[in-house]
Chain A
Amino acid sequence: MWERFFSEMTKETLEILRSVAQFLPRLMITLIIVLIGWVIAYVLRYLLRSILRLAKFDRLSEDAGASQFLKKAALPSTTELLSRFVFWVAWIGFILIGVSVLGIVGLQEHIGRFFGFLPRLFAALFVFFFGLLAASFFSRAALLASVNADLPSPRLIAATVRTVIVIFSVSVGFEELGIGEHTILVAFTIVFGALMLGLALAFGLGGRDLARRYLERRFMHEHKEEREDELSPL
Chain B
Amino acid sequence: MPEETILNDDFLRELMNVGEVDLLVGVPTYNDARTVGQVVQAIRTGLLKYFPRQRAAIINADGGSKDNTQELVRAASISDMHHADNLYALRTLHCISTRYTGTPSSGTALHTIMAASDLLRANACAVISPDSTSITPEWIQTLLQPVVNDVNDWVTPVYRRHKFEGLLIRNLLYPMNRAVYSSRVREPYPTDFAFSGRFASHVAGLDTWSEEAARVGAEMYLTIAAITGKFRIVQTYLGPKSRGEGAPADLVAAMRRSVGTLFWSLDSTFNIWSADLDPEPVVTIGPEHELDPEPLRFNRKRLHDMFARGVGELEPVLRSILSHSTLCQVQQVASSPEGELGYTDELWAHTVYEFAAAYHKSVISRDHIVQALAPLYRGRTYTFLAENRDNSPEALESNVEALCLAFERSKPYLLEMWNGRK
Binding site for B on A (CB under 8 A): 59, 63, 137, 140-141, 143-148, 150, 154-155, 225-234
**B368:A232 contact, CB within 8 angstroms:** no
Q: Report whether over half of chain A's contact residues are helix, strand or loop; otherwise say mixed.
A: helix
**A143-B246 contact, Cβ under 8 Å, with A63-B364, A227-B299:** no
**A233-B314 contact, Cβ under 8 Å, with A137-B365, A228-B302:** no
**A233:B166 contact, CB within 8 angstroms:** yes
How does the 8 Å CB contact mask read for B73-113 relative to A, with 1 for contact and 0 for none? 00000000000000000000000000000000000000000
Interchain CB contact (< 8 A) of B299 among A59, A145, A226 = A226
- Residues of B close to A146: CB separation below 8 A: 313
The contact size tier of chain B is 35 or more
**B364:A140 contact, CB within 8 angstroms:** yes
**B313:A154 contact, CB within 8 angstroms:** yes
- Cα A144 to Cα B314 in complex, Å, equals 7
CB of A229, distance to nearest CB on chain B (Å): 5
- Cα A155 to Cα B247 in complex, Å, equals 30
- Nearest-CB residue, chain A, relative to B170: A233
- Cα A150 to Cα B305 in complex, Å, equals 9
**A231-B313 contact, Cβ under 8 Å, with A140-B365, A148-B375, A226-B298:** no
Residue among A231, A232, A234 with the highest chain B CB neighbour number at 10 A: A234
**B244:A232 contact, CB within 8 angstroms:** yes
Whether B288 is near chain A, meaning CB under 8 Å from some CB there, is: no
CB of B368, distance to nearest CB on chain A (Å): 6
- Cα A227 to Cα B363 in complex, Å, equals 31
**A144:B381 contact, CB within 8 angstroms:** no
- Residues of A close to B12: CB separation below 8 A: none
**A228:B299 contact, CB within 8 angstroms:** yes
- 14 A-B pairs with CB atoms under 8 Å apart are A137-B365, A140-B368, A141-B365, A144-B371, A146-B313, A148-B251, A148-B374, A148-B375, A150-B309, A225-B302, A226-B297, A228-B298, A230-B244, A231-B165
**B167:A144 contact, CB within 8 angstroms:** no
- Residues of A close to B255: CB separation below 8 A: 233
Interchain CB contact (< 8 A) of A229 among B251, B297, B313, B364 = B251
CB of A71, distance to nearest CB on chain B (Å): 15
CB of A46, distance to nearest CB on chain B (Å): 26
Interchain CB contact (< 8 A) of B249 among A63, A140, A229 = A229
Whether B358 is near chain A, meaning CB under 8 Å from some CB there, is: no
Whether B279 is near chain A, meaning CB under 8 Å from some CB there, is: no
**A226:B302 contact, CB within 8 angstroms:** yes
- Cα A198 to Cα B394 in complex, Å, equals 57
**A143:B317 contact, CB within 8 angstroms:** yes
**B313:A155 contact, CB within 8 angstroms:** yes
Interchain CB contact (< 8 A) of A225 among B246, B299, B368 = B299
**A231-B381 contact, Cβ under 8 Å, with A63-B364, A143-B317, A226-B298:** yes
- Nearest-CB residue, chain A, relative to B257: A234
- Residues of A close to B49: CB separation below 8 A: none
- Residues of A close to B168: CB separation below 8 A: 233-234
CB of A141, distance to nearest CB on chain B (Å): 7
- Residues of B close to A63: CB separation below 8 A: 364
